[in-house]
Amino acid sequence: MKRTKNEKTEDVKRWFLRETGRLWPLALGSLSLRRGPCIREHCSACASGQGHASWALSGRQGRRRVSLYVPQEVVPEVRQAVEQGRQLQELMREAGQRYLASLKRARGLGREFRRKAGKR
């Protein structure tokens, strides 16, 4: 649904539910490739400084920073989930703006509270 000037709150809800319905799988955080040493004493990869590669999904759980190991074979799916998580965040931002605009229109509060760009 295209955004219209006279969009109602129910229109925003229908748009949001339709758009979010296609976003699965979802994940918040970042996917990164890490290189680090192993526990073996005479490892040639560690001795050369190359280390061992592993993928991790990092994010927050409350105030704590968490990092989860991601097996190589599921990296593409996790990468897609992270991208779709970002898309969901963007949809939520847009939904909030559209919802507020529709509430203001419904109450006749649209124009008099609008600020010009750059004015504070």
pLDDT averaged over the chain?
87
Position 3 scores a pLDDT of: 67
Question: At residue 57, what are phi and psi to the nearest 5 degrees?
Answer: -100, 115
Q: pLDDT band for 114, please (50, 70, 90 cuts).
A: low
State pLDDT tens for residues 22-78. Answer: 999 999 999 999 988 888 888 888 888 788 889 999 999 999 999 999 999 999 999
Q: What is the pTM of this model?
A: 0.73
Position 89 scores a pLDDT of: 96
Among candidate residues 72, 66, 68, the one with its CA nearest the CA of residue 54: 72
Position 5 scores a pLDDT of: 74
Cis peptide before 76 (omega within 30 of 0): no
